[in-house]
Structure 1
Amino acid sequence: MMRRSQALSQLAVLLLFLLVTPSASTLTLDEACKAVGASNRGVRYDYCVKFFQACKGSATADRRGLAVIAAKIIRAAAVDNGKRIATIKASRGDDKRILGPLADCDELYSSAVDQLDAAARAIASGNLQDAVTNLSAAADAPQTCEDGFRELGVSSPLAAEDSEFSKECSIALAVTNTL
C-alpha cells in the first residue's frame, strides 16, 4: 500500500512538473522569434509571437513547421491583399492614374500566392534553397507595388498592407534561414 501511494505522489509531482515546465516546442517558438528579432530590427519579438499566434499549430511546431506555417500565413495575407486591391479598383474605377499601379500590384500579389505555395512545399520537403528563393520573390511584391505608385507620384492606398506583408515575409525568411 505504501509503494502505491508513493508512486501516486511521484506521478503527481511529475505531472505538475510537466505542466509548469515549458515544452521544447514552446521554446522553439520563443527561440525562433528571438532569432527573427535579432536578424531583423524592423520585426520585434512580440510582433513575431503575435504573428504565429494566428495559427494554433505554431505552439507545438518545430522550426521547420514554423517556417511552413509562416509561409501559409503570409500566403493568406497575399490573398487578402488581392481582395483589397479588387475593392480599391471597384471604388476608384474612374481614376486612371491609380488603376495601372493597382493592376501591377494585383499581378504581384497573385504571383506571390504561387511563390508562397511553392515555398511551403519546398520547406516541407527540405529543399531550403528553393524555399528561400520563393520566399524572397514573394517578399519583393510589396516594395515593387509601392514603387509603382511612387513613380507616378500618387499616394499608395496599399501602404499599410504592403508594410505589414514585408514584415511577415521577413519573419518567414528569418525562420527558414535558421533551418
Structure 2
Amino acid sequence: MRPSQALCYFVVLLLASSSYASVLEDTCKAFGADYDYCIKFFQSDKDSATVDKRGLAVISTRIARAAAVSTLKRIAALKAADTDKKIQGPLADCDAKYTGAVNGLDEAARDIAAGKLQDAVTYLGYALDVPASCNEAFGEVGVKSPLAAEGHEFARECYVARFVTTMLSASKPPRM
C-alpha cells in the first residue's frame, strides 16, 4: 500500500469513527437531562461508539436484557434462601414477569434489526412495566420489594432502549 493510500484509508476510518461517535452524542443529547446517564449506559458496550442509530437501539435492548437476566438470578437466589411463604408468591410472579421481559427484549432486538420498529417499541414498553408490576406484587402482601433497586435500574435501561427505538422509528422514511 502506498503512503497516500494508507493516509486516505486512515482519514476515512477517522471520519467514520467520529461520525458514529456523533450519532451516540446526538442520541444522548436528544435524551435530555440524563445525557451523562445515557453516555455511561452506552459506554458499557464498546460497540456503541461504532454503530448507527439502529445499532444503538439493538445495543440498548441487549444491555436491558442483561439486566433482566441478572435480576432473574437474584430472584432465584431469593427464592432458594427465603423460606417466608409470604414472599414466595411475589417472587414467583416477578420471576415470570422478568422471564417475559427477557423474551420480549429478544423479540424487540429482532424486530429492530428487521425494521419492525413499532413492534419493538411495544415489547420495550412491556419490559418497562415489569419493575412496577413486580413491586406491586410485593406491596399486595405488605412487603417492600427486595428487587426495588434492580427494578429501578432495569426500568431506566428499558426507557433508554424505548427512547432510542422510538427516535429511530420517527426518523424512518414512510413506506411506499
Which bin holds the TM-score, normalised by the shorter protein? 0.7 to 0.9
What does residue range 1-179 of structure 1 map to in structure 2 within 5 Å? 23-36=18-31, 38=32, 44-92=34-82, 94-179=83-168
Please report the RMSD computed on the Cα atoms of aligned residues, expressed in angstroms. Answer: 2.4
> Identity rate of aligned residues, in percent?
54
What letter matches 2:123 in structure 1?
N
1:25–1:62 CA contact under 8 A, matched in 2: yes
2:60–2:160 CA contact under 8 A, matched in 1: yes
**Large movers: runs of 4+ above 3 Å:** 18-22
Distance in 1, Cα, partners of 2:97 & 2:155:
13
* Structure 1 residue 153 displacement after superposition: 1.4
What letter matches 1:24 in structure 2?
S
Please report the TM-score for the alignment, with normalisation by the length of structure 1: 0.84
Please report the TM-score for the alignment, with normalisation by the length of structure 2: 0.86
Tell me, what secondary structure is at the counterpart of 2:145?
coil
- For structure 1, which runs of at least 5 residues remain unmatched after alignment? 1-6
Tell me, what secondary structure is at the counterpart of 2:144?
coil
- For structure 2, which runs of at least 5 residues remain unmatched after alignment? 169-176
* Structure 1 residue 22 displacement after superposition: 6.7
Aligned length: 166
2:101–2:126 CA contact under 8 A, matched in 1: yes
Distance in 2, Cα, partners of 1:47 & 1:53:
10
* Structure 1 residue 151 displacement after superposition: 1.8
2:124–2:162 CA contact under 8 A, matched in 1: yes
Alpha carbons of structure 1 residues 122 and 98: separation in structure 2 relative to 1, 3 Å = same
Tell me, what secondary structure is at the counterpart of 1:178?
helix
Tell me, what secondary structure is at the counterpart of 2:127?
helix
Alpha carbons of structure 1 residues 24 and 157: separation in structure 2 relative to 1, 3 Å = same
